[in-house]
Amino acid sequence: MKNPDFPEGERGSFAADARLSPTLPSRYYHDPEIYGRELRAVFQRSWCYVGHVSELPNPGDFRVESVADQCIFLLRAEDGEIRAFYNVCQHRGHELLQGSGSRKKRIVCPYHAWTYDLDGALIQAPHTDRLQNFDAAEFSLKPVRLATCAGLLFANLDPAAAEFEQAYPGLAQTFSDSLPAIENFGAAIQLDYDIAANWKIVVDNFSEGYHIPVAHRQLTRVLEVGSGNRSRVEEHYAFFESRSRAGYEGLELEAGLPYRSWTLWPNTCLLSLPGCENLIVIRMAPDGPEGCREHVDLLTIDGEVSPTVEALRRLFAECFNQEDIAIVESVQRGLKSLGYDQGRYVVDDRDDWYSESGLHKFHRLILAALAS
């Protein structure tokens, strides 16, 4: 029976069974109306990665971030907890903070000097003592839910969303089992890329290994494709572990070291490359129907940049991420071709390493979010 929430394309309707389904119709990658619905239905209702605790070491440290089209800030309060608020003054809507920095005890709006403490309470508002029916307690900053998982910070704009641990059961364990020192990680290297592709194309590309032997020659020298021996697949995330090959000049590896990858609904992908304890956190921030901003945090123990970490940065930044960016920008152009609408997911019953079943699941979650 047809599901009214599944879209039709030239090759028929998307199907719940990946083995039978055509891929998402290509309009999902450039239609402004679908993009606007995604901002509300996906990004304003999901847990989105917004940074690492090491970026806010001291009370008063803040960092402005965005979740889809919403500007928020993260701030370490005086009790040591990191909190998040919408970055908007409750008087007439001026933005409160820019970039990153530190505020000792208070946040002063640059427009009329309404002043908030580090817990978001309005503590000073010039000339409001003469106002009738004015209760400063009603004008606290609007909080945003924030969860910490192995030092990674996730914000959720939806007050009714499930708790992080319920949405991603066992995720923290996959991090601590794989990376025993993760609690001591810090940001060693940060990279930003403006990509001329819809954010989903970049996530799509991260969610399958089918293209690795074809498109990533250098990575294939490091990674034993198809050597996966450990995995965990849940509704909102997937974790895989594979094994290394002997590496290459500058990154000599023993064969058989672990290589791990995670994909987290909706827009975060993580890699831990062989060679040392590291975690590369990649988020695809939507930036219009046909663009996105990829932000990368390379985390290492104490944020140290050793020669091995530098070799990993080169492998990522100068080899396979460049290759992936060229791929996804080509796909964005191709998806606007009048000569293409839908393809097929390459999956089989054994769900082998090359399977595009994770890609199909990602698209099913997109459609479920848009239908809700």
- Return residues touching ligand FES (CB under 6 A): 89, 91-94, 109, 111-114
- One residue of 204, 241, 294, 324 binding Fe ion per CB under 5 A: 324
Of Fe ion, ligand FES, none, which one does residue 106 interact with (CB within 5 to 8 Å by kind)?
Answer: none
Of Fe ion, ligand FES, none, which one does residue 134 interact with (CB within 5 to 8 Å by kind)?
Answer: none
Whole-number minimum distance, CB 110 to ligand FES, in Å? 7
Of Fe ion, ligand FES, none, which one does residue 340 interact with (CB within 5 to 8 Å by kind)?
Answer: none
Using the minimum distance from each CB to ligand FES, give the nearer residue, 99 or 126: 126
Assess contact for 366 and 286: CB atoms under 8 A: no
Name the amino acid, one letter, at 168: Y
* CA–CA dist 260, 243 (Å, integer): 8
Residues facing 244 on adjacent strands: 223
Whole-number minimum distance, CB 323 to Fe ion, in Å? 6
208 binds Fe ion (CB under 5 A): no
End-to-end CA distance of the chain: 20
Whole-number minimum distance, CB 216 to ligand FES, in Å? 49
Using the minimum distance from each CB to ligand FES, give the nearer residue, 112 or 230: 112
Assess contact for 108 and 97: CB atoms under 8 A: no
Assess contact for 103 and 60: CB atoms under 8 A: yes
* CA–CA dist 257, 337 (Å, integer): 42
Separation of CA 6 from chain center: 25
Of Fe ion, ligand FES, none, which one does residue 114 interact with (CB within 5 to 8 Å by kind)?
Answer: ligand FES
In sequence order, which residues have a C-beta less than 8 Å from that of residue 193 and are 6 or more positions away? 293, 294, 296, 321, 325
In sequence order, which residues have a C-beta less than 8 Å from that of residue 355 and are 6 or more positions away? 208, 210, 346, 347, 348
Using the minimum distance from each CB to Fe ion, give the nearer residue, 297 or 324: 324
Using the minimum distance from each CB to Fe ion, give the nearer residue, 212 or 301: 212
**Total residues in contact with Fe ion, by rule CB under 5 A:** 1
Whole-number minimum distance, CB 87 to ligand FES, in Å? 11
Using the minimum distance from each CB to ligand FES, give the nearer residue, 86 or 316: 86
Of Fe ion, ligand FES, none, which one does residue 40 interact with (CB within 5 to 8 Å by kind)?
Answer: none
Cβ count within 10 A of residue 164: 19
Q: Which stretch binds Fe ion (CB under 5 A): 157-165, 182-190, 323-331, 338-346?
A: 323-331
Separation of CA 56 from chain center: 19
Whole-number minimum distance, CB 107 to ligand FES, in Å? 10
SS3 state of residue 329:
helix
Assess contact for 340 and 207: CB atoms under 8 A: no
Binding site for Fe ion (CB under 5 A): 324
